[in-house]
Amino acid sequence: MISNWGSALGRTFRGTSAPLTYALIGLCCLIFVLGPASGFVPSYGTGDALLAAQRAYFRRWGVVPADLFGHPAREALTPITALFIHGSWIHLLGNMLFLYVFGAMTEERLGRVEFTLFYLVCGYLALLGYAVANADSEQSLVGASGAISAVLGAFLYLFPRARVTSLLPFLFFLPLRFPAWVVLPFWAALQWLAAGQAAQGPGVAYLAHLVGFTLGFGYAWVRFGRTTRVGAAPVTVPEGENQP
């Protein structure tokens, strides 16, 4: 999907050598297919039995804020395991699309080990931040949204002039190309507005998106500084309407 490139300090970034990004996508897809939400495993049953299995699965591997703070030693790893669990096909595919599009060039810029640690730590902190804000919630939180939002934040700092192809529903899904410094702050603003309206408690974890995005941008800013920002040539980055 990324056909052009950005360069900095004599190095070229094409998004074609990113094994950790592709491994994360493959692992998330495999875990989903083997879980109860995919509908592919008959042993989980059907109907009410399947719904019960899904609820138990999400509670076991997802972040439940009330459990996290009520039993911190037992639940401490759930913000990591939750990054690899998704609630539906749409949830999975939307997140993986964003990771595929924005993760490859970010991984090339950070390096494989650093990118992996960045992804896991930012994802953990994003889900933890959401749990702190909803400490009494009994609802399970799953998905890679927080970690992928951190990738978006880092991408914005590292490749601000990369061209992002967006499909806007109010323009009849006409594909339009904008630089990342326009598209990604607009996306973050939508998350901010949605988080402010989520007064009825957990649903879509918009706050985790915001925390992850801020962490990712801040990390890239501190890590690389203004003197090593990437001067990107136009990069076509298709973006769907699904939000991570």
**Active-site annotation, residues:** 145, 209
**Beta strand pairing call for 163-168 and 237-239:** parallel
Side chain identity at residue 158, one-letter code: L
- Taking CA atoms, 149 is separated from 7, 43, 67, 72, 105, in Å, by 23, 34, 25, 25, 15
Give the CA angle between residues 215, 206, 132 to the nearest 5°: 70
In terms of C-beta density within 10 A (0-12 exposed, 13-18 middle, 19 or more buried), how is residue 243 classed? Answer: middle
Crossing angle between the packed helical segments 180-197 and 206-224, to the nearest 10 degrees: 140
Instruction: Give me the residues paired with residue 7 across strands.
Output: 12, 231
CB 209 within 8 A of CB 133: no
Residues 138 and 63: their CA atoms lie apart, in Å, by: 9
**Beta strand pairing call for 11-13 and 163-168:** unpaired
Contacts of 195 (CB under 8 A, 6+ apart): 206, 207, 209, 210
Residues 68 and 170: their CA atoms lie apart, in Å, by: 40
